[in-house]
Amino acid sequence: MQFKIIYNPKNVSISHKTEVQIECYYNRKYKYIGTGVYIEPNYWDKDKRAITAKHPQSSTVNNIIKTKLRELETLSYKTEDAGGVFDFNALKNLTGGKDKQTFCNFIAECLKDEPELELNSIVKYKYNIEIIRGVLSEITIDKLTADHIQKLDVAYREKYADSTVARLHIFTEKYIKKAVIKKLLRENPYDKYKLPKFKAEPKKTMHTMAELDALAALDLTHSVAMIRDRYLFSCYTGLRISDNLALLKTNIADSADGYVVSIRTIKGIGHDLILPIGLMFDGRADAIARRWMTAHDEKTLFPAVSRTYISTVLTILAEMAKIDKHLTFHVARHTCASLLADISSNPFLIMEILGHAVYIN
């Protein structure tokens, strides 16, 4: 067996630490052993395969890596000198089987190296892992085949709509490709199992006034009514979910014509919004704001909740109101734009209300 010190940073950021590993090559296959040493990319000399002197503890950590490498080389030499074979089974016994990972555990480990993921994405991804685990159980990465992909495909289609099946396969293949790059898997089994092509239906990206009235008419508990009202509030104001969540009671002032919302948008470089909601859409957003202004003691107009909870409740509300659309705040913004277009032919006014930058040459 041949051994080599390698370093493959997973992120180009100089502040992102990645583990230095020992590559084990035997019979045209590769395995990787962690050294426990994590460094930033700017401390690695790829020509010398060592940590540069710029690292404050370069001498110590280089010795740790070289010691682990020598231990493997010595064990390999002694085994073969005694007439034995130091193969991957011997390596497995040496490492306690840590070189073998189930596919699901591999995905979970990869998630730890994706710090840019938002909490709602992490929750969704962990749910996806459990779906895969229910089908593949303890299948290790190196054992994945096209038959396993077919088994997953059947299981996905038994429970989920075609659009969800397509997203689950995109998720699954993403981490299979990572395993191939890491040489934990020789080839991508998706290359041998061709999935039926998914053709998405045109998205329904706005509500009719009848649908908004159906939502408003629902008899709901306090917590669910709050999600419904904050969604309708965005339908009538065009606020993104980030601005909806951050909207403070102090951002709202009373006037002779009703409430006026003054807020600086969060997304992008930010844009000052002044929305006379008392004059917009027969004061529907004004009525919602007045209902929640005194309904609780928090600083925000609506009580604080997670995006995951909002998404879950919106799915339930769509079913209750018999609306065949995904209720998202992107749809809410489109709805506001559509309602504004019905009453105004001025595109600059619509852009201003939605918080888009207006450029005039």
Q: Is the dihedral of CA 41, 47, 53, 56 positive or negative?
A: positive
Written as six digits, the tokens of 351 are 């852009």
Bridge partners for 31 per DSSP? 24
Report the pLDDT value the prediction gives residue 317, as an integer from 0 to 100.
95
Over range 272-284, report the average pLDDT: 92
CA distance 17 to 68: 20
* Beta bridge pairs of residue 273: 263
Please, are residues 231 and 326 in contact by the beta-carbon 8 Å criterion? no
Q: What is the model's pLDDT at position 13?
A: 58
Strand runs (DSSP E) across the chain, as ranges? 2-6, 18-26, 29-39, 44-45, 50-51, 252-253, 260-264, 272-275
Question: In the structure encoding, which two tokens stand for residue 112, read together?
Answer: 């730890």
How does residue 224 score in pLDDT terms, banded at 50, 70 and 90? very high
User: What integer pLDDT is reported at residue 118 of this predicted model?
Assistant: 73
Residue 65 above 70 pLDDT?
A: yes
Tally Cβ neighbours within 10 Å of residue 259. Answer: 22
175 confidence band (pLDDT: 50, 70, 90) = very high
For 103-191, the fitting CATH number among 1.10.3470, 3.40.1350, 1.10.150, 1.20.1070 is 1.10.150
Give 360's pLDDT tier (boundaries 50, 70, 90): very low
Percent of the chain whose pLDDT exceeds 90: 42
Three-class DSSP category at 237: helix
Q: What ranges make up the beta strands (E) of 141-240?
A: none
pLDDT at 85: 85
With 90 as the cut, is the pLDDT of residue 320 above it?
yes
pLDDT over 80 (residue 244): yes
- Residues contacting 349, CB < 8 A, separation 6+: 340
Q: Backbone phi, then psi, for 251, in 5-degree steps?
A: -80, -5
Better-predicted residue by pLDDT, 36 or 39? 39
pLDDT above 50: residue 105:
yes
User: What pLDDT shows up at residue 95?
Assistant: 55
Closest CA relative to residue 101, chosen from 154, 150, 144: 144
State the chain's maximal CA–CA distance in angstroms: 95
Mean pLDDT score of the chain: 85
What CATH number was assigned to the domain covering residues 209-354? 1.10.443.10
8 A C-beta contact, residue 74 and residue 41: no
Check residue 361 and give its pLDDT: 42
pTM: 0.47
pLDDT computed for residue 197 by the predictor: 72
Domain definitions of the chain by residue range: 2-95, 103-191, 209-354
CB 78 within 8 A of CB 103: no
Q: What is the pLDDT of residue 204?
A: 63
The CB density around residue 205, as the number of other CB atoms within 10 Å, is 15
SS3 293: helix
pLDDT band of residue 100 (cuts 50, 70, 90) is: low
The confidence score (pLDDT) of residue 98 equals: 46
Of 279, 244, 241, 235, residue with least CA distance to 258? 279
Radius of gyration over every alpha carbon of the chain, rounded to an integer in angstroms? 28
Three-state secondary structure call for residue 38 = strand
> What digits encode the pLDDT tens for the residues 192-222?
888 877 665 555 689 999 999 999 999 999 9
Rounded (5°) CA angle 96-102-108 = 105
Closest residue by Cα to residue 249 from 287, 286, 302, 291: 302
The number of CA neighbours under 13 Å toward the Cβ of 138 is 1
